[in-house]
Structure 1
Amino acid sequence: MSIHAGTGAEQRIVDDRDVSVEAFVVEKADYYTPIFELLQRGKLPRWHMNIWGLLLPWFWAAMRGTWIMFWIALALDVLAIVCLMQVVKFSPLLAEAQANAADNVTLIARYSGWIQSFGTVGVIALIAGRLWMGSSANRFYYGQYTRWRTDKGVANGVNMRRVILAAVIIALVAPLTIYRASQQRLDERACLNQIRAGETVTALLAQHGVSDVAELLPKLSARADDLAAEKASLDAISDRTEAQNTRRSGIRKELRGAERDLSTAEDFVAISRRDRFDCWFIDDFPTVARIDPPEDVVYRSVPDEEAIAAGDEDATKVIRIVKDPVEGRVVNIFTYSSESIDKSINYLRANFAGIFDAITHVLRQSLIRVEVAFMQTPWPVVSFLFIALSWAFTGKGTTIFVASSLAFLAVFELWQVAMQTMALVVVATAICILVGLPVGIWMAKNKVARVITEPILDVMQTIPSLSYLVPAVAFFGISQPPAVIATVIFAIPPMVKLTALGIRQVPESTKEAALAFGSSERQLLRKVELPMAIPSIMAGLNQTIMLALSMATISAFIGAEGLGALVTASLGDAQAGKGLLAGLAIALVAMMIDRILKGIRASFSRI
């Protein structure tokens, strides 16, 4: 059926469209053909409703393959029902509070407000959501139809397999979510107590040689009764011997243990299926693995007296101390892994202390020399260098900004502190260049290296910056050198990635021409690839410096000096003004460096 009247050519276009609509919808073509025609003209009223989209939007959307609408419809319906379930959850609490209204005025007002708010939002979301889905269903479907006309891979027709898939999705998402919304928050220790009770009962079953809790309870009860009877008989003796007193003390201890085991077994039996279900599906992810902890080992470095007597005054030896494990202690995988890492770090620190001390010494001396260079150089010289670089590579506006930023540091007496931050950034950036540039070249030249290093760099960029402080402190203590190491690890990924990217982006035709003229691989890298990759490398350097500056600020938590230390101190003392001024100084330093490096990078791009 066509509602378009016109010339013969126009009529043929409509007929072709009608045929394609029928091929697309498969079923109910007589309904969708005029609807699509009105949508194509922009004349379908907004209030027009698709009945299936109004009543069962997720069923209709899945059947027709309109998955965007399916997810929107499911989300809106679940949101509405979750809000309404809050009314179900808080109504009994309100009734309980109203039973003693004088003592629960605040709770009554709170629960009443929650019930009214959630009820209103739930009803509005359900009604408005359904009306919107009913009026939007045909529009979603028409958009799918227009995509199908150019891409036959787009879902079309009616497919019950899609309905089955949608039913599985709804079964996985909706019931648990709605059930969780109707329940009070679980006691944070309830599930842990369930796990511990299960572990204790498992151990008791093995200890008493039974296979079922029903058989275990009588044995535990009988043992507790026997111990209680023996204790009562000893208590009845007025003139007890020393052996009897010792026995009485032992029985009291055994009785407490037996009663504790009996109580634990009874609590385990009393755990309902609903409690188990809640802990498995609506609490935190269930802890299914409880394992014995790793060996409790401590490595300690002590002076080696024999070596010292032989003339080596710095000689040390490593003593391995093994502690007895706590009886019955089991841990989850997280605790097991963290304790194993701690033990490994302890081992490395004890056995390779000389290497860590040497790295610390090199970094500390480098920082001292760079700090001397920045802080002992007269401020007019440093200012002139910044302004000259800005004038040479950027515009007049950036030069004025750099001069104003330097004036801010000087006027607010933050010059020396800013130079300390700059020293840390310079040392960290230098290490990033020395390490990152060769690694980036290696990545660009070696596919295997790229496959190995790219995931590592991605992880390094994803880990929160504060996390880098933990291993740095574990190996090097609290001071400036571990701050440099943490800064390098945090800031090096852009240098490596953009170096590799710049070299890989060199046109193959350019490289083939250089090789055709007799260039070796080393000459190709040095005279063709690296020069053409300089803009990308400079972008990596820019990002590395920015990250190093941000990490140098955070590193104040482990002893780094500079502007970050001011921010940390103001945070601890709640001095907002001091912290804001120090933060503004950090921002100005970062912006100065960023603008100058962008100008330098732009000048290389023009070469």
Structure 2
Amino acid sequence: MTDTGLELGPKALDSSIGEFVKEREDYYTAEFAKIQGATGFAWSWNLMAAVFGPLWGAYRGLWGFFWTFLVLELFALVQLGRGLWADLGAESLARVERLTANIEARRERAREALAAGDQAAADSSLKVAENLEKAVANAQAAADAAAADAFGILLIGIALFVLVKLLEGFYANYAYEKQYLRWRTDENTPSGLNTTSAALGGLLLLGIWPLTLYRFTVSKPNEFITTFPIDKEFFTPTANWMEGGFDWLAVEFGGVFKGVTTSIKWVLDGLEVILVDTPWPVVMLVIFVMAWRLAGPRVAIFSAAALAYLAFFGLWEVSMVTVALLGAAAFLCLIFGIPLGIWFGKSQRAYNAALPVLDFMQTMPAFVYLIPIIAFFGTGKPPGVLATIIFAMPPVIRLTALGMRQVPAGTKEAAVAFGCTKWQLLRDVEIPLAMPSIMTGINQTILMCLSMVVIASLIGAGGLGANILEALQYAAKGQGMLAGLAILFCAMVIDRIIQGSYRRSEKASGG
């Protein structure tokens, strides 16, 4: 089906519904009309869906319905099983047995100590036994309370199961009507009755429900269910092999890694000369004037207030070190990220090849980056910048590529028709139109660079991150908050200047 059909009249609509549902055409025609004609909630009830639940969804090709209510029904059944069969106080009773055995052992020691004439040791063992008896009483009370809760859990399970069945009955026709509308424009949407899907749904139920119910209702389930049946025999050899690989790479390509570190150190040293070694009044004045000229008086006033905060709380030098780290990382991210984003935006094949790498860079926990960074580049500020680059570069690449792909094809065709070369098309048409997305990527990259400041301090990057790390180690709450606010203000000043400069240039060009 490819027509929308609604303008063809009730007969065409009825015919398409029959073609879609295959069985119970009159019922679904009436229910779909009720749903489509209602301005609010339509009381549409599907008895078969309420009775068979997830299996009905699988039979009708509604896999979203199947998985949603498979989980909800299972949750309700677990509560029913716990209320009916589970020994809720088993753990506490097992603790009672262990404590009782310990008490007997302590009393035996006391008797032996008395027989040996050691009154002090006997008194000590008896005192421990008395304390353990109190623990036994508490554990027994907990076991009794858990057993008494069984009836309440059973009632909750019954209530949940009834509620889920009501939801299934009332929601089924809504979900099926949405699938019908999708089917009218997409022939690949499942329709009719599918016994293969129903059989697959039944197998999934048999594979998921019994094992889960067994796990949560049996006091001591089989170890095979609770523990994956394998030991760590593969872990140590694999870890040793990977460690050997790291060592081999560090030795064989040590010159390359040293060259990368030296290059980053040059950029970092240059920024530190400008920001740290230059007298602070000069740096503050230059930033204020730059903010005024590029972003306007409001951003300039905010920048001056933020810089005053850094100075008055004695955080000027460490803040400038942090800005140098951020500047080096952000500069390298943009230098490499924007051209890569442009390339990926113009070549879908290149983007598809890079997508797994970008996903890896964004999803791998930040602390894990530090392992290969330390192995290949050592510790200090340049390795901290490298770790920040890995973490912060993907947003500017992705958003630049997105902006390039969103440039209208008609605009590019018109520019080529007027004689634009590829370079002119890129410089004068594609990049300007993609600039809002690129600026968003720059913003996200800067903020993610700042978020890595504390983590990079773990490998000796220094700056405000070291202050926060020290505050965490010694629970110095005030020190940590002041340093955290300093990082926030640094990020806001940089972002406001860059974004304000872009907005001013847009206004000046009439964009």
Larger mean Cα displacement after TM superposition, 556-565 or 60-69: 60-69
Alpha-carbon distance change, 412 to 36 in structure 1, aligned in 2, over 3 angstroms: same
Asked whether the equivalents of residues 88 and 143 of structure 2 are also in contact (C-alpha less than 8 Å), the reply is: no
Alpha-carbon distance change, 114 to 549 in structure 1, aligned in 2, over 3 angstroms: farther
Higher relative contact order (CA 8 A, sep 6+): 2
Structure 2 letter corresponding to 1:336: P
- 1:475-490 aligned within 5 A: 475-490=376-391
- 1:114-153 aligned within 5 A: 115=150, 118-148=153-183, 153=188
1:338 aligns with 2:257: no
Distance 1:60 1:440 in 2: 46
Corresponding residue SS for 1:413: coil
Corresponding residue SS for 2:87: helix
Alpha-carbon distance change, 446 to 56 in structure 1, aligned in 2, over 3 angstroms: closer
Larger mean Cα displacement after TM superposition, 532-541 or 423-432: 532-541
Asked whether the equivalents of residues 499 and 540 of structure 1 are also in contact (C-alpha less than 8 Å), the reply is: yes
Q: CA deviation at 1:483?
A: 0.7
Corresponding residue SS for 1:89: coil
Instruction: Write out per-residue CA displacement over residues 85-109 of structure 1, whole angstroms, 9 at most, x where no aligned residue.
Output: 3343334617946998736235325
Asked whether the equivalents of residues 534 and 604 of structure 1 are also in contact (C-alpha less than 8 Å), the reply is: no
Alignment partner, residue 93 of structure 1: 90
Alpha-carbon distance change, 121 to 404 in structure 1, aligned in 2, over 3 angstroms: farther
- Of residues 279, 283, 293 in structure 1, which corresponds to 2:227? 283
Corresponding residue SS for 1:331: coil
Asked whether the equivalents of residues 87 and 218 of structure 2 are also in contact (C-alpha less than 8 Å), the reply is: no
Instruction: Write out per-residue CA displacement over residues 274-307 of structure 1, whole angstroms, 9 at most, x where no aligned residue.
Output: 55x43xxx434x54xx8xxxxxxxxxxxxxxxxx
Instruction: Write out per-residue CA displacement over residues 200-256 of structure 1, whole angstroms, 9 at most, x where no aligned residue.
Output: xxxxxxxxxxxxxxxxxxxxxxxxxxxxxxxxxxxxxxxxxxxxxxxxxxxxxxxxx
Instruction: Write out per-residue CA displacement over residues 110-141 of structure 1, whole angstroms, 9 at most, x where no aligned residue.
Output: 63476456434322211211123233334444
Alpha-carbon distance change, 106 to 45 in structure 1, aligned in 2, over 3 angstroms: same
Alignment partner, residue 56 of structure 1: 52
Q: CA deviation at 1:42?
A: 3.8
Asked whether the equivalents of residues 341 and 397 of structure 2 are also in contact (C-alpha less than 8 Å), the reply is: yes
Alpha-carbon distance change, 405 to 171 in structure 1, aligned in 2, over 3 angstroms: same
Corresponding residue SS for 1:384: helix
Alpha-carbon distance change, 538 to 139 in structure 1, aligned in 2, over 3 angstroms: closer
Alignment partner, residue 312 of structure 1: none
- 1:289-368 aligned within 5 A: 331-332=233-234, 334-368=235-269
Structure 2 letter corresponding to 1:108: A
Structure of higher CA gyration radius: 1
Distance 2:37 2:423 in 1: 65
Distance 2:500 2:160 in 1: 53
- State the Cα RMSD in Å: 3.8
Instruction: Write out per-residue CA displacement over residues 52-88 of structure 1, whole angstroms, 9 at most, x where no aligned residue.
Output: 2332222333333343333332222101112233343
Corresponding residue SS for 2:86: helix
Alignment partner, residue 548 of structure 1: 449
Alignment partner, residue 326 of structure 2: 425
Distance 2:37 2:432 in 1: 57
TM-score using structure 1 length: 0.65
Alignment partner, residue 121 of structure 2: none
- 1:101-112 aligned within 5 A: 102=137, 104-108=139-143, 111-112=146-147
Instruction: Write out per-residue CA displacement over residues 382-412 of structure 1, whole angstroms, 9 at most, x where no aligned residue.
Output: 3333333333343554444333322222222
Corresponding residue SS for 2:452: helix
Corresponding residue SS for 1:560: coil
Identity %: 39
TM-score using structure 2 length: 0.76
- 1:408-447 aligned within 5 A: 408-440=309-341, 442-443=343-344
Extract unaligned runs of 5+ from structure 1.
1-11, 187-273, 291-329
Q: Which structure features the higher share of helix residues?
A: 2
1:584 aligns with 2:485: yes
Distance 2:327 2:434 in 1: 22
Asked whether the equivalents of residues 495 and 540 of structure 1 are also in contact (C-alpha less than 8 Å), the reply is: yes
Q: CA deviation at 1:551?
A: 1.4
Asked whether the equivalents of residues 472 and 486 of structure 1 are also in contact (C-alpha less than 8 Å), the reply is: yes
Q: CA deviation at 1:419?
A: 0.7
Extract unaligned runs of 5+ from structure 2.
1-7, 101-135
Structure 1 letter corresponding to 2:238: S
Alignment partner, residue 70 of structure 2: 74
